[in-house]
Structure 1
């Protein structure tokens, strides 16, 4: 097996096992453990348990690799191999809390520092336990939903583009994001917002959206999903020549991305974002 294929096999196996654990805890009933950036930004006991499971399983399989997880950023480890696993144990926690079937486990292996501006994503897996979907990708080897190859939608006119986005947990920022949305709504087919960034990126890869954009994503929010989208043919980027990161993430068929980026950037400026 090639090295990236081995990493992908590990990500997929652990991702599926972690998804089973998350689904079991959801069936038992979800309890909020704490709030993070705001009262609306919650973490459940299941988030923590699933991350501990993933971290332990990865350490058993790849003891020399680093680890960066959403629920343990204060104990991230660098490792000695030059690879880091970037993990969101339950992406879409509010959906998970309410029983909305749009949450996921996201696991990616990246080469270099765990910084989206400089890393090279090698393998990624995104699992939605609620519907049994497993999205995977490895560098230069394509993206898949199960065993089905994924491809972004062909180019569409902006007026026919279905565009997804997400919102901050901070009320003041959400108000500004709503102004951006108001400026974009009249220029596209429609807007979708499901509240799970990794799934948004995978849905671009699967042709369920034409484009997705968001500001404020953390590395674990998009590490695996961005690779899936890129391997399906999407342009995944930040503003200008910058890589997708917290400042801005856009994923779309390349011609549509080139059309959308300046429009969204202008709307961001007008809204004070």
Structure 2
């Protein structure tokens, strides 16, 4: 937490409008510029090169818009953009969350944008172009999908809970994560692995998942989705008493969160 006063309504409105415009333009760029045969072949040395180029192009578009509209703001971007700024506002940018899904033509990929004010996330936008959806939240103002309010599901019994998760890229981490899944799956309805944390967090917010957890997320993976989930009534955290972060991120409807977080702690989901 910080000791700074909250941002003015005018500032949050300005940040939200800019975030929505950036997400829409970056989402359109990614959707319209993706080659139809990307998952099969590409003109570059590999399909991965094309995805990397699209990722970089999306981040460049976003950071250019920030520089033009709010040049004093800081930026932290997945693809390397990092400036400190002097306004008290910092943008946390994932220009293409779910790159493997994007490569394969799966719909679960997103543009994720969060605006922090003196360290607290106050505005969040997650655009999911393949679904034709955009989620947003302003701190204290609820969570929304395409202009309609969204809420997390009422908490079911744990054996009826649908839980999302994700896996890292390193073999050792994946082995540890598989061990946690093996212990969890007999205790819940089922597990889903969609491949984009920002989308998973929004799915908790709108009731498509009862909960979500993952180890190894970066700030740009979770900043926007975390605020959207919380504003939709979900609880979020990391290890008990801690905020979501790289060790562990958990988001769920309150009753599911209260049961899921201790299990993940006991099973060591926060380490490899």
Q: Provide TM-score, normalisation by structure 2.
A: 0.90
The 10-residue stretch of structure 1 (180-189 or 235-244) with the greater mean CA deviation from structure 2 = 235-244
Shift of 1:34: 10
Kindly provide the CA deviation profile for residues 131-174 of structure 1, in whole angstroms up to 9, marking residues without a partner as x: 21100001100110101101000121111100000000111211
Shift of 1:27: 3.7
Alignment CA distance shift 1:34-1:55 (3 Å): farther
Which of 65, 71, 75 in structure 1 is aligned with 2:73? 65
Kindly provide the CA deviation profile for residues 26-59 of structure 1, in whole angstroms up to 9, marking residues without a partner as x: 1465469899xxxx9x961100011000000111
Give SS of 1:85's match: strand
Shift of 1:98: 0.8
Paired with 1:227 and 1:162, the residues of 2 have a C-alpha distance of: 21
Match of 2:62 in 1: 54
Instruction: Point out 4+ residue stretches in structure 1 off by more than 4 angstroms.
Output: 28-35
Alignment CA distance shift 1:14-1:8 (3 Å): same
Match of 2:33 in 1: 25
Kindly provide the CA deviation profile for residues 221-242 of structure 1, in whole angstroms up to 9, marking residues without a partner as x: 0111111101000111111111
Paired with 2:222 and 2:198, the residues of 1 have a C-alpha distance of: 6
Paired with 1:256 and 1:181, the residues of 2 have a C-alpha distance of: 16
Match of 2:4 in 1: none
Paired with 1:97 and 1:167, the residues of 2 have a C-alpha distance of: 17
Q: Provide TM-score, normalisation by structure 1.
A: 0.90
For structure 1, list consecutive stretches of 5 or more residues without a partner in the other structure. 113-118
Match of 1:116 in 2: none
1:1-273 aligned within 5 A: 2-27=10-35, 30=38, 44-72=52-80, 75-112=81-118, 119-268=119-268, 273=272
Paired with 1:77 and 1:6, the residues of 2 have a C-alpha distance of: 20
Paired with 2:165 and 2:133, the residues of 1 have a C-alpha distance of: 21
How many residues are matched? 260
Asked if structure 2 preserves the Cα contact closer than 8 Å seen for 1:166 and 1:194, the reply is yes
For structure 2, list consecutive stretches of 5 or more residues without a partner in the other structure. 1-8
Paired with 1:29 and 1:159, the residues of 2 have a C-alpha distance of: 41
Paired with 1:217 and 1:25, the residues of 2 have a C-alpha distance of: 27
**RMSD of the TM alignment (CA)?**
2.1
Asked if structure 2 preserves the Cα contact closer than 8 Å seen for 1:32 and 1:44, the reply is no
